[in-house]
Structure 1
């Protein structure tokens, strides 16, 4: 009765009344009042009335509500899905939308996008396995947008974001969305800011669902989608971009880079090369955010290959640590355009340590050389120099791959840099840190007579610098400065004494103890509770070692505290 009598009579009245408000209201009433299953079984008749309505009727809203009701009906029970397939609901709705848009040539682009957004939502609910249907909807939307240029209507761009977000929300997997050939074509119509918003939505989806993107082809497609965050899509000047927003965007890209992974070294190397190609095109301002994660992904691959044969695949083009290090050298070098010398130095040292673990001495030496060049030519701030020299010393101490000549060259350079720091306390601490470069516990080749002497020379040099710092402090304040540096040097003496360096004698330690005591008891000394506590703790340690007995206790016994 509804199909043959009620609906046709009502629609006849609606079409003939010619009043746009009445038509909109009555069509909305039909959709809201009658049951979903009635609409599904009478789609042909209902949809046939839409193109006959007045051109000014807000058809997009009415039709969108119809598709929303049908989507909810489809989601309510799996039992009703066969009905949708039987009546070919998607094809009928798609066809009807095309006819409505043709019948209303002046329909705003917002209306067009809203209709296709509703149709896509319907399609994803009713035909989740039919990616071709979803792609068809996106393709139809692209055709309607063709020739429009970048959209400037905020509501329209929001609808496109909703349209593009729907597949991500449905599949929880960007890999599925990447299979939709028209997906990136729709994104082309977004302005720069909205493109960034959509790119952020895509990255958040990947993070939330821990999506595994494991091939270079998919990475290429993904980076094309999020290119709004990777490079400037228009002529926006750097100073026009909010700094905090920019950092957050680039941090999200950095997190994404770390998630790209494949167990196959060959494919992983292709992924790294693909990412590198995109981020190097993004301009210098982004590099300090995007280069580090790329470097660490590359180093992860190096660790994976560590210990394998030089050519495990038996092919000339095989991925090897040497090949990766060559790429890394070129990649870190790009930070000179930023410029970010401190970051580049840190990355060179990380690469050197990885080359050390792969027993590639020439490669490790080359990375250290690059780090030293940066230190000499680019790092001028005194605090940055202090940080850099301690990084250099710490990394060099862990290196075992260097032969005597290379190690001595690097060690003496580091010691020279330490002695030239701006402030005396910084000089002192860096120089006594260098003493460890001449004495490495697990490396027998870095323990011989000559190096025993070098350790002592480093500590004596640090002591001279500490004395000079004390005198400068006395002259500036008119009183004796803190003895903290002397106590720190004393602790280094005790370390090497305990480790068995014959150059560190009881007499030297005793002399240093007396020096510190004298300085602290001086009438003109400045009270320093921290230095007093540090010295007291050191004395307790000496007493503790004495009480332990055995070989260690015997060594400490002659020291008088």
Structure 2
């Protein structure tokens, strides 16, 4: 605002305030009423200006409205003391004002009071004021004048509404709306073309004045949806279309969407959609339709227990799209997809109430396919259709995904690029997982894999490097793009692995068949990323079986199938394959299939020897092998010869480890393979008493036997082999150059020896323990000490030793043998 404009506005405000003040003084003196009208006419003259913008004009309008409101209240109060002729005469009198702006504002002010009289000719007054307002054709002045008319008559029109007067009220408001819209549009064409942007801004500031008429229409309680659709909406739409103004069409159509009730919107949808086909090209049909759809969706969410009843309105949207294609074949593809997505979103949110709604989806997918085929040759890659495919996430119940006729959906899916297919495949999996939807039949499983086979399970070889090149130059996967793709691949398979856990049926055989179907489809992709999960689920399925009643042949076939799957992944994932073999060995042992268990261990040994190279991983794998061997109670009892072969091999592996510390720990842990105790209730109840008696002899030879000791049963007891393992580990520990590491290992071996001493190993006696303690003590004596205290790297080792000695002292309370140990 320039300084000159500000001064002009300030002057007008000053004049208006002074004149209002003078008017009020005259009204307080009943003998000066005519003078008060003169003052009112004076401050109304300030509204005759054409030099103010809408905001400045509105500032004056507010001041004047307050002043006229004071006059109006005075007339109402004074009318109680006068006869009706007073207002009639005054209504005629103000129409003789010299200027049209003061004349019409005073006419509306007096007329609004006059209509309140008991026998007032209401229709004549309304028509008179409405007609007289045509005399002001300046857009800004005319808009504010008509806005004043609708404000002053608002409360009366709403109260005047009844069955006989409803049409008259509607006609009055619609007629005022039409005239205001014409003035509003005319404003766009005033002034030089260089001021177009300024005119647009001014029009946006004035649009609420025009919309106020429609707001009043929406507040008429007696208007039914039939009357709205047959009379009100067609007249409003006719004006909106005829004005051919983009700003007016965008704003007023949105007002219609926002202010009239939801059931009105549904009932009149066909009429409204037909009008959308006739608007200017620049009008945002997409935004308008989405605004309407979002309103219906919000209504559904607010009233989840209610329904809009007839779902035929959804087909109206589809008909609109078909007509849009005919009228404008080159309609913006992004906007087209956005509209379709909105319609799908609305359809899907009602899918729980009526299965017929699902049929509507097929039509929309068909329209999408037709549009895609029409434009696919004009663009290298079209990704706008992804939002249509992603619309399935709006299902209230994602189980309905399996109910849709997915022929067209899959055709549309198959037309997309691989990146979009992967996005949709992941979306399907994610929704199944989040909603915990069980896949319990072959049809549903095949439907899901139909999409996965074309997306996540597709192998991409564009970043594969030949083995020779990798050997010479190293793996290029450290490149950022390749690294990102690997991360993305991991995400895809994370969802896929989670999905496999949803494949479930209470019937054991049905679930097994479903898992076999999964295997067929997974084999088409990077199966080494998914087979481990599938194998784990198969193992869990076997574990759930009642082993005593299970068909052994059936179990053998299952284990053979699992073994085949493990062999397929061992080249890519040797550690995973080794651990899976060990798990299968343990389960097959529980099934009393010791031959199968033995074979799984042999497979684990082969993987260990041929594929496990790194020393840190070797020791971890070996510890797993030892732990699983200890759990093979049935093999120990029934096939001790095979068991001895396995534990001997495992012990040899320990002695061949690269690091001496690993050798030492592996061998003293291997000693437990020759001394195995189990809780009594962990042994199968079907063990024969004769087997227990016959197994007494192998104690001397190191063979398996059963011996009850308190609540435990010894499955294997070979004192000599245990001693040999501990002695060998001691020799290895003693050969280590680092004295601190050597002493730490001595203490660990001492702890192992105490375990065997407690459990009755005759070779590990008091003399042996005393010798170990003396050895450890001598080593600590050789360590330099400060003020008799161990410091530096030996401190943690010393604390470990002290905890061990403390344990020995505590055991003296419960076991007299510990008194003989010299500490």
C-alpha distance in 2 between matches for 1:440 and 1:234: 50
C-alpha distance in 1 between matches for 2:308 and 2:251: 31
Who is 2:762 aligned against?
A: 502
Return the index of the structure with the highest Cα Rg: 2
Asked if the contact 1:375/1:388 (under 8 Å) is kept, the reply is: yes
Q: Which runs of 5+ in 2 are unaligned?
A: 1-226, 465-476, 684-691, 702-717, 786-791
Question: Is the aligned partner of 1:448 residue 2:696?
Answer: no
Who is 1:473 aligned against?
A: 738
Residues 396, 151 of structure 1: CA spacing in aligned structure 2 closer, same or farther, 3 A cutoff?
A: farther
- Structure 1 residue 513, shift from structure 2 partner: 1.7
Asked if the contact 1:55/1:103 (under 8 Å) is kept, the reply is: no
Who is 2:51 aligned against?
A: none
Asked if the contact 1:84/1:126 (under 8 Å) is kept, the reply is: no
Question: Is the aligned partner of 1:355 residue 2:582?
Answer: no
C-alpha distance in 1 between matches for 2:770 and 2:271: 105
Who is 1:118 aligned against?
A: 342
Asked if the contact 1:352/1:363 (under 8 Å) is kept, the reply is: yes
Who is 1:477 aligned against?
A: none
Question: Is the aligned partner of 1:98 residue 2:98?
Answer: no
- Structure 1 residue 53, shift from structure 2 partner: 4.2
C-alpha distance in 1 between matches for 2:742 and 2:233: 96
Larger relative contact order, structure 1 or 2 (CA cutoff 8 Å, min sep 6): 1
What's the CA shift string for 1:313-332, capped at 9, x where partnerless? xxxxxx93222211111111
C-alpha distance in 1 between matches for 2:374 and 2:585: 53
- Structure 1 residue 456, shift from structure 2 partner: 1.3
| SS of structure 2 residue aligned to 1:66 | helix
Question: Is the aligned partner of 1:159 residue 2:387?
Answer: yes
C-alpha distance in 2 between matches for 1:500 and 1:264: 49
C-alpha distance in 2 between matches for 1:147 and 1:275: 37
Residues 139, 362 of structure 1: CA spacing in aligned structure 2 closer, same or farther, 3 A cutoff?
A: farther
Question: Is the aligned partner of 1:137 residue 2:364?
Answer: yes
Which of 503, 520, 531 is residue 797 of structure 2 equivalent to? 531
Who is 1:327 aligned against?
A: 561
TM-score (structure 2 length as normaliser): 0.60
The 5 Å alignment of 1:213-362 reads: 213-227=439-453, 230-232=456-458, 237=463, 239=477, 240-241=481-482, 242=484, 243-283=486-526, 287=528, 289-311=529-551, 320-338=554-572, 340-362=573-595
C-alpha distance in 1 between matches for 2:459 and 2:649: 46
Question: Is the aligned partner of 1:385 residue 2:615?
Answer: no
Indicate the larger mover: 445-454 or 293-302: 445-454
What's the CA shift string for 1:508-545, capped at 9, x where partnerless? 22222221111221256986122222222222222222
Who is 2:752 aligned against?
A: 492
Indicate the larger mover: 359-368 or 7-16: 7-16
What's the CA shift string for 1:292-334, capped at 9, x where partnerless? 221211111001124143439xxxxxx9322221111111112
Indicate the larger mover: 262-271 or 373-382: 262-271
- Structure 1 residue 417, shift from structure 2 partner: 0.5
Question: Is the aligned partner of 1:422 residue 2:422?
Answer: no
C-alpha distance in 1 between matches for 2:501 and 2:745: 42
Residues 233, 7 of structure 1: CA spacing in aligned structure 2 closer, same or farther, 3 A cutoff?
A: farther
Question: Is the aligned partner of 1:464 residue 2:734?
Answer: no
Residues 511, 5 of structure 1: CA spacing in aligned structure 2 closer, same or farther, 3 A cutoff?
A: closer
Q: Which runs of 5+ in 1 are unaligned?
A: 313-318, 475-479
What's the CA shift string for 1:470-529, capped at 9, x where partnerless? xx336xxxxx75411111111222211211122222222222222111122125698612
C-alpha distance in 2 between matches for 1:152 and 1:458: 68
> Runs ≥4 in structure 1, deviation > 6 angstroms?
none
Question: Is the aligned partner of 1:432 residue 2:656?
Answer: no
The 5 Å alignment of 1:19-98 reads: 23-53=249-279, 57-77=283-303, 81=307, 84-85=310-311, 88-98=312-322
C-alpha distance in 2 between matches for 1:536 and 1:309: 53
Which of 208, 217, 229 is residue 3 of structure 1 equivalent to? 229
- Structure 1 residue 434, shift from structure 2 partner: 0.7
Asked if the contact 2:348/2:392 (under 8 Å) is kept, the reply is: no
Who is 2:640 aligned against?
A: 404
Who is 1:559 aligned against?
A: 821
C-alpha distance in 2 between matches for 1:492 and 1:355: 30
Residues 498, 120 of structure 1: CA spacing in aligned structure 2 closer, same or farther, 3 A cutoff?
A: same
C-alpha distance in 1 between matches for 2:270 and 2:803: 90
- Structure 1 residue 74, shift from structure 2 partner: 4.7
Indicate the larger mover: 208-217 or 56-65: 56-65
Paired residue total: 533
What's the CA shift string for 1:23-52, capped at 9, x where partnerless? 545544443454433333333333333344
C-alpha distance in 2 between matches for 1:503 and 1:248: 55
C-alpha distance in 2 between matches for 1:514 and 1:310: 56
Asked if the contact 2:733/2:742 (under 8 Å) is kept, the reply is: no
C-alpha distance in 2 between matches for 1:310 and 1:16: 81
- Structure 1 residue 410, shift from structure 2 partner: 0.5
